[in-house]
């Protein structure tokens, strides 16, 4: 039997497979998308489809064509890349094999279809190209949002790559594969850390010459200098590779340098058609042109629609360089540990926000379903970006703050703005779909309605100084978009169909050809009656009738008696017993029109739809500006909305490295606990001209916060970080009053995050993160440390914590502002040793004698941060509250009190080596005598057999000599130990 893989269709299939390595290939055959071989096995598993065999030995699994979007979504969610091969020709017209081509490649980072995207989150493709110069290793970066055409380039030190990528909602990373096709280890590290999809690309696509040429050709320029990219700019390879990937995935165009060079001189933007990979631009252009030429003469279905996609990627904006200066950096670790976009225990940016407090993240607080601060997806995406990438200059922050303040102060304006924004849909992504030939009738109508809000936005922003930049954007776009909006609205009906397959988008009375086609469908009878009457009158043949039958179609009939008088214009069609049947060119025309009326109406509508899309395509730049203005206005009013709801205040932003927060709250916890949340103050850093601080004594830059577990230390230090971050994003902050000195970076070290560091020990993670902080901290940074030194032995931990606190508090003349929460109360001694640099804060606890547990105290955590130190850890109380069995709690109290007694003996000559080491830490000199419930740090090491022996001795039964012998024996024991 012939090899089933040798058939022409399968040859076509394998060609596409070769052109799209690493992709699952969905191959359209009739009403199904089929997959074969390993793909069939994979897909049947991933989607639960039945695995069959096309012919013996060729596994096959297929999905009905109308389920495509659904299956694509599920496959992409599972991390697959999928190439879709469509039929580019009506199979009935095909001579031999049906013309097929890969029309799109769906990958996690290049999604554009609404059904595959989350409206509230960006989905960015990141291209990474490493550049070595000497010992220095840099990464050139390009970020492209396929759905909106946003294109940003940047570069960073190779070791900061993860941080750069983490704050940008990256859905997929592309990189240059090694010669053996493997992922370079430094890419692998980042991919593992961030858990994003990654795709290797041919390394030549990252060559600077190739990349530069591709960019120039696509944007129709002779130099990239206008985009701020020098000839050898490190970002060029990444930008070029990103563009090549987009072309391949969105337009099915496999980048082929030879074809590109050939096309370069001829076409600026290029007709990038959806043809099969490997087809040159010239061929594509010819195919599209011929398809367009044939558009009116014959019906065009889905195949033609695919062919007519034009100017693909026209929405892609020229690359914009992102300046590193003027930015506030949050690294990947802090982004996670402060729970900006996702909670530490899971729930990604896409996790649905559940209630008013959102999903427990800062972003969720603004964008959660219950919060609904923003009215448009564009506003939501921008607000997310603002929170993940705050500003780094006083001017930048103040100007945003001013705009937010406008909406806070003028609630009427805010309400009107919200009402106007409610009418605006995701025009940024709709414009993208239009440019990629993937817009639906509903998209077009939504676009028309949305951009018609332009005049309302202009009215609302008139004379509002703080909103002038947004107004300018709208104003510039107005001239171009208003007429298009007008045309869309006046031509399209109010309830557009989901697709163009059956027409129904355009109103009656706007196009004669469409009206006629529609009229013919509904009104063929009256036309015929009218025509019959005309003929009767014209030829004076009262017996003449116009009729129709299924076999012969339309005819004019004369009784046999009148047939003799039939005029010459009537041509004979059929002779019956008693009658003759005729036709005329007019009637043939009519027949033609009626029988094709429906398809002509649909076709006409399709052409009109394409024309309107074409008009919209002509103004994508203006739509993008309008979209940008809407996003900004929405994000600004969203921030104001949040501020008003919880009484947040406008922070004062200053250059000096200070931080003064009064009545500060944790934004997310406050939302959950309401008035039950206890506000707290903090004051750090000295500002020139400022006297003694109000809270916490000296305005030192390092605060050590001690207090029992569960008292609220973490909450407090996180809230300080979040308030600082919000202030830098231009937002109001949850406090009664706040002055925030400019911060260049927030560093955090809060709890181990396994997701980020799988495979490393908790302590190693802790130390790696701390090393990063100490190596990169500047006097402008804010450092948040929670429980440093926990992951190792108590002594090691204390020693490390001590040295780290000392480093931050005093190594430099201007130490960073730092908050250090610790259960090592020994550290509180630093306040005396480093006066003016370090200060102690503690969390207040209220104690009273227990009624149910005689001899012990009940405690309440007041969550109030006060100056001074604590020497209690209340671990056993917390354990009791947590529900440890009563017996275990009792026993731990016994152990504790016995240990406490030993500790009371202090550290003498007989101290263990551990104790002797610890004693050399100056802090111990300041140790406070323990009270009930406090396990002093080193007592746990006094567990010597000599002590057990001592405990056994019954003094009253010993003679003095025996006592002396015992003493000698025990002393010997201590020396041998």
Rounded Cα gap, residues 390 and 589, in angstroms? 68
**Closer CB to ligand ADP, 96 or 676, in the complex:** 676
**Closer CB to ligand ADP, 681 or 826, in the complex:** 681
CA-closest candidate to residue 105, choices 146, 166, 62: 146
Q: Is the dihedral of CA 459, 460, 462, 468 positive or negative?
A: negative
List CB contacts of 550: < 8 A, sequence separation 6 or more. none
Using CB under 6 A as the binding rule, the residues of this chain from 799 to 828 that contact ligand ADP are: none
Burial class, 698, CB count within 10 angstroms (exposed 0-12 / middle 13-18 / buried 19+): middle
Which of 678, 783, 830, 918 binds ligand ADP (CB under 6 A)? It is 678
Number of residues that bind ligand ADP (CB under 6 A): 14
**How far does Cα 824 stand from its chain's mean position?**
39
Q: How far is the CB of 712 from ligand ADP (least distance, A)?
A: 3
Q: How far is the CB of 860 from ligand ADP (least distance, A)?
A: 11
> Which region, judged by CB under 6 A, interacts with ligand ADP, from 284-292, 446-454, 498-506, 672-680?
672-680
Which of 7, 295, 393, 709 binds ligand ADP (CB under 6 A)? It is 709
**Closer CB to ligand ADP, 553 or 751, in the complex:** 751
Rounded Cα gap, residues 446 and 434, in angstroms? 12
Q: Does residue 176 interact with ligand ADP by CB under 6 A?
A: no
Q: How many helices (H) and strands (E) does the chain have?
A: 34, 27
Residue nearest to ligand ADP (CB): 712
Rounded Cα gap, residues 29 and 87, in angstroms? 8
CA-closest candidate to residue 272, choices 435, 106, 98: 435
Q: How far is the CB of 931 from ligand ADP (least distance, A)?
A: 19
**Closer CB to ligand ADP, 217 or 715, in the complex:** 715
**Closer CB to ligand ADP, 799 or 873, in the complex:** 873
Q: Does residue 137 interact with ligand ADP by CB under 6 A?
A: no
**Closer CB to ligand ADP, 247 or 749, in the complex:** 749
**Closer CB to ligand ADP, 87 or 873, in the complex:** 873
Burial class, 323, CB count within 10 angstroms (exposed 0-12 / middle 13-18 / buried 19+): exposed
DSSP H or E run through 902: helix 886-904
> Which region, judged by CB under 6 A, interacts with ligand ADP, from 315-323, 365-373, 709-717, 926-934?
709-717
> Which region, judged by CB under 6 A, interacts with ligand ADP, from 381-389, 490-498, 566-574, 708-716?
708-716
Q: How far is the CB of 761 from ligand ADP (least distance, A)?
A: 22
- Summarize the chain as % helix, strand, coil (round to 5): 45, 20, 35
Q: How far is the CB of 841 from ligand ADP (least distance, A)?
A: 12
**Closer CB to ligand ADP, 212 or 713, in the complex:** 713
**Closer CB to ligand ADP, 532 or 762, in the complex:** 762
Using CB under 6 A as the binding rule, the residues of this chain from 504 to 563 that contact ligand ADP are: none
Rounded Cα gap, residues 347 and 428, in angstroms? 27
> Which region, judged by CB under 6 A, interacts with ligand ADP, from 199-207, 250-258, 609-617, 676-684?
676-684
57: phi > 0 → left, psi -120 to 50 → alpha, else beta; which? left
**Closer CB to ligand ADP, 676 or 855, in the complex:** 676
Cβ atoms within 10 Å, residue 204? 14
Using CA atoms, how far residue 249 sits from 116, 203, 215, 555, in Å, is: 15, 18, 17, 53
Q: How far is the CB of 104 from ligand ADP (least distance, A)?
A: 47
**Residue-by-residue DSSP string for 603-646:** HHHHHHHHHHHHHHHHTHHHHHHHHHHHHHHHHHHHHHHHHHHH
Rounded Cα gap, residues 65 and 76, in angstroms? 17
> Which region, judged by CB under 6 A, interacts with ligand ADP, from 147-155, 365-373, 382-390, 670-678?
670-678
**Closer CB to ligand ADP, 310 or 666, in the complex:** 666
Q: How far is the CB of 856 from ligand ADP (least distance, A)?
A: 21
Q: How far is the CB of 880 from ligand ADP (least distance, A)?
A: 16
Q: How far is the CB of 827 from ligand ADP (least distance, A)?
A: 15
Whole-number CA gyration radius for the chain: 38
Which of 328, 677, 802, 941 binds ligand ADP (CB under 6 A)? It is 677
DSSP 823: S
Q: Assess contact for 974 and 913: CB atoms under 8 A.
A: no
> Which region, judged by CB under 6 A, interacts with ligand ADP, from 85-93, 389-397, 469-477, 669-677?
669-677
**Closer CB to ligand ADP, 642 or 665, in the complex:** 665
Q: Assess contact for 657 and 685: CB atoms under 8 A.
A: yes
**Contact string (CB under 6 A) for ligand ADP, positions 710-749, x = contact:** xxxxxx----------------------------------
CA-closest candidate to residue 906, choices 874, 943, 950, 936: 936
Q: How far is the CB of 787 from ligand ADP (least distance, A)?
A: 8
Q: How far is the CB of 934 from ligand ADP (least distance, A)?
A: 16
**Closer CB to ligand ADP, 344 or 397, in the complex:** 344
Using CB under 6 A as the binding rule, the residues of this chain from 853 to 872 that contact ligand ADP are: 863
Using CA atoms, how far residue 792 sits from 186, 337, 767, 789, 798, in Å, is: 29, 21, 10, 6, 9
Q: How far is the CB of 875 from ligand ADP (least distance, A)?
A: 11
Q: Name the residues that contact ligand ADP, by CB under 6 A.
A: 673, 676-678, 680, 707, 709-715, 863
């Amino acid at each position: 039997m012939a090899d089933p893989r040798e058939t022409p269709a399968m040859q076509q299939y394998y060609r596409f497979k070769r052109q799209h390595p690493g992709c699952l290939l969905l191959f359209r055959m009739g009403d199904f998308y089929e997959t074969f071989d390993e793909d069939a096995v994979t897909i049947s598993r991933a989607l639960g489809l039945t695995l069959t065999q096309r012919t013996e030995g060729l596994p096959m699994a297929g999905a009905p064509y109308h389920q495509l979007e659904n299956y694509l979504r599920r496959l992409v969610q599972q991390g697959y890349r999928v190439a879709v091969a469509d039929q580019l020709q009506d199979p009935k017209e095909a001579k031999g094999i049906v013309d097929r081509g890969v029309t799109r490649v769906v990958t996690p980072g290049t999604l554009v279809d609404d059904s595959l995207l989350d409206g509230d989150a960006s989905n960015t493709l990141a291209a990474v190209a490493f550049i070595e110069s000497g010992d220095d290793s840099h990464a050139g970066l390009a970020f492209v949002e396929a759905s909106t055409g946003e294109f940003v380039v940047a570069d960073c030190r190779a070791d900061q790559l993860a941080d750069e990528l983490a704050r940008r909602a990256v859905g997929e990373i592309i990189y240059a594969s090694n010669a053996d096709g493997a992922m370079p280890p430094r890419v692998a590290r980042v991919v593992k850390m961030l858990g994003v999809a990654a795709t290797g690309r041919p390394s030549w696509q990252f060559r600077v010459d190739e990349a530069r040429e591709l960019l120039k050709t696509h944007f129709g320029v002779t130099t990239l200098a206008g985009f701020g990219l020098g000839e050898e700019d490190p970002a060029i390879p990444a930008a070029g590779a990103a563009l090549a990937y987009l072309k391949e995935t969105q337009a099915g165009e496999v980048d082929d340098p030879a074809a590109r060079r050939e096309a370069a001189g001829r076409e600026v933007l290029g007709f990038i058609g959806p043809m099969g990979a490997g087809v040159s631009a010239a061929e594509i252009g010819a195919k599209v042109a011929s398809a367009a030429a044939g558009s009116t003469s014959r019906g065009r279905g889905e195949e033609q629609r695919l062919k007519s996609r034009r100017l693909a990627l026209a929405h892609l904006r020229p690359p914009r360089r992102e300046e590193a200066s003027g930015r506030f950096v949050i690294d990947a670790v802090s982004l996670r540990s402060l729970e900006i976009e996702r909670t530490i225990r899971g729930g990604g940016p896409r996790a649905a926000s559940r209630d008013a407090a959102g999903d427990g993240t800062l972003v969720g607080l603004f964008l959660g379903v219950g919060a609904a601060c923003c009215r448009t997806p564009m506003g939501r995406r921008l607000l997310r970006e603002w929170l993940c990438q705050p500003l780094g200059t006083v001017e930048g922050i103040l100007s945003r703050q001013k705009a937010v303040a406008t909406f806070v102060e003028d609630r009427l304006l805010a309400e009107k703005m919200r009402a106007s924004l409610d009418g605006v849909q995701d025009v940024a992504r709709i414009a993208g779909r239009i440019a990629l030939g993937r817009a639906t009738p509903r998209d077009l109508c939504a676009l028309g309605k949305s951009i018609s809000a332009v005049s309302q936005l202009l009215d609302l922003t008139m004379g509002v100084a703080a909103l002038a930049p947004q107004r300018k954007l709208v104003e510039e776009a107005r001239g171009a978009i208003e007429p298009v909006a007008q045309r869309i609205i006046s031509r399209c009906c109010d309830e557009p169909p989901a697709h163009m397959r059956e027409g129904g988008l355009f109103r009656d009375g706007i196009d004669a050809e469409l009206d006629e086609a529609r009229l013919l469908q509904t009104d063929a009878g009256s036309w015929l009656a009218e025509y019959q009457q005309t003929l009767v009158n014209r030829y004076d043949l009262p017996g003449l009738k116009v009729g129709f039958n299924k076999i012969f179609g339309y005819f004019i009939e004369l009784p046999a008696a009148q047939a003799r008088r039939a005029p010459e214009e009537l041509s004979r069609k059929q002779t019956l017993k008693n009658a003759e049947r005729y036709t005329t060119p007019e009637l043939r025309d009519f027949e033609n029109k009626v029988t094709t009326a429906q398809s002509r109406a649909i076709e006409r509508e399709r052409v009109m739809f394409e024309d309107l899309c074409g008009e919209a395509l002509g103004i994508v730049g203006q739509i993008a500006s309008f979209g940008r203005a809407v996003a900004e206005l929405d994000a600004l009013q969203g921030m104001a909305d949040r501020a008003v709801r919880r009484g947040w205040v406008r922070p004062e932003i200053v250059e000096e490295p200070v931080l003064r927060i009064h009545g500060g709250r944790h934004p997310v916890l406050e939302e959950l606990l309401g008035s039950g949340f206890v506000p707290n103050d903090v004051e750090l850093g000295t500002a020139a001209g400022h006297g003694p601080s109000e809270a916490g004594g000296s305005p030192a830059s390092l605060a050590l916060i001690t207090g029992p577990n569960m008292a609220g230390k973490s909450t407090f230090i996180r809230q300080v970080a979040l308030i600082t971050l919000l202030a830098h994003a231009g937002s109001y902050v949850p406090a009664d009053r706040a002055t925030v000195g400019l911060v260049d970076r927030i560093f955090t070290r809060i709890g181990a995050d396994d997701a980020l560091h799988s495979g490393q020990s908790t302590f190693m993670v802790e130390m790696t993160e701390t090393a990063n902080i100490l190596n990169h901290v500047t006097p402008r940074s804010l450092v948040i440390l929670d429980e440093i030194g926990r992951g190792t032995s108590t002594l090691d931990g204390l020693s490390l914590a001590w040295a780290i606190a000392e480093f931050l508090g005093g190594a430099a003349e201007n130490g960073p502002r730092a908050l250090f929460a610790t259960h090592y109360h020994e550290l509180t001694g630093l306040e005396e040793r480093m006066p003016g640099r370090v200060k102690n804060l503690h969390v207040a606890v209220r104690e009273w004698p227990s009624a149910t547990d005689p001899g012990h105290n009940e405690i309440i955590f007041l969550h109030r941060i006060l100056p001074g130190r604590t020497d209690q850890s209340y671990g056993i109380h917390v354990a009791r509250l947590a529900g440890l069995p009563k017996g275990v709690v009792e026993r731990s109290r016994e152990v504790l009190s016995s240990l406490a007694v030993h500790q009371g003996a202090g550290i003498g000559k007989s101290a263990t080596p551990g104790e002797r080491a610890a004693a050399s830490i100056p802090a111990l000199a300041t140790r406070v005598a323990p009270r009930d419930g406090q396990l002093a740090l080193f007592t746990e090491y006094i567990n010597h057999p000599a002590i057990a022996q001592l405990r056994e001795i019954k003094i009253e039964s010993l003679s003095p000599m025996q006592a002396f012998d015992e003493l000698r024996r025990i002393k010997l024991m201590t020396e041998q130990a």
